[in-house]
Amino acid sequence: MLDKGLVQVYTGDGKGKTTAALGLALRAAGQGLRVRMVQFLKPPSLDLGERRALAKQRLAIKIEALDIDWDMEHSLSDPDARTRARVAISAALDRLRADIEAQTCDVLILDEIVFCLAKGLARMEDIKALIHGKPPCVEVVMTGDGATPELLALADLVTEMRNLKHPFETGLGARRGIEY
């Protein structure tokens, strides 16, 4: 158990936010901490390498996906998809707040919640309630592009990943094992 749990934000338009959070999860589990990662906007139907790897190991890392139908290319412009996502995300944050208050994990990673907040799919009130209600020994890590000044003010540690050059710009698509 941590003596002091902080609030971390990994944001920016560059690659590596989720990867950094997974590195932290691996390190924490290696030191005996219980880690829970919730992936927002990455439905269970996505075949992600991190989920495959963690399913094969006996680490104290629990990874789960918010079970909503979401497509990053089309759902943001679909009012019905946005409404369903808002409802599911709010309910998930309520459950997570209760879970961390009960100290079911030492490290809670909210993957893509920063993006959800930036796009109006999550409410700042729900994020604040989770942060302010967490026990002092629980670390909260939030990832995603578009961190607001209000969110940054709540954080103890902020890392911005900046895109300086990316193969997507030349038309190379996401590669199995590297981007997913």
In degrees rounded to 5, what are phi and psi of residue 140?
-120, 125
Q: Is a pLDDT exceeding 90 seen at residue 180?
A: no
Contacts of 151 (CB under 8 A, 6+ apart): 9, 114, 117, 124, 127, 142
- Report the pLDDT value the prediction gives residue 11, as an integer from 0 to 100: 98
The three-state secondary structure class of 117 is helix
Q: Is a pLDDT exceeding 90 seen at residue 69?
A: no
**pLDDT tens for residues 106-130?**
999 999 999 999 999 999 999 999 9
CA dist 61 and 133 (Å) reads 22
Query: What letter does residue 159 receive in the DSSP assignment?
Result: E
- Report the pLDDT value the prediction gives residue 123, as an integer from 0 to 100: 98
- Report the pLDDT value the prediction gives residue 7, as an integer from 0 to 100: 98
Quote the strand ranges of 30-129, DSSP E.
35-39, 61-65, 107-111
Mean pLDDT score, 150-176:
92
Mean pLDDT score, 134-145:
97
> How far lies 124's CA from each of 33, 114, 132, in Å?
27, 10, 12
Q: Residue 30: how many CB atoms within 10 A of its CB?
A: 11
Domains belonging to the chain, first-starting first, are 7-163 (3.40.50.300)
Q: Is a pLDDT exceeding 90 seen at residue 175?
A: no
Identity of residue 131: I
Q: Is a pLDDT exceeding 90 seen at residue 59?
A: no
- Report the pLDDT value the prediction gives residue 20, as an integer from 0 to 100: 97
C-alpha torsion angle, residues 93, 94, 97, 98 (rounded to 10): -150
In degrees rounded to 5, what are phi and psi of residue 24?
-60, -40
**pLDDT tens for residues 14-26?**
999 999 999 999 9
Q: How confident is the model at residue 178 (pLDDT cuts 50, 70, 90)?
A: confident
- Report the pLDDT value the prediction gives residue 58, as an integer from 0 to 100: 83
Cα angle 96, 64, 126 (rounded to 5 degrees) comes to: 25
Decide: 13 and 145 in contact? Cβ < 8 Å. Answer: yes
Mean pLDDT score, 43-58:
90
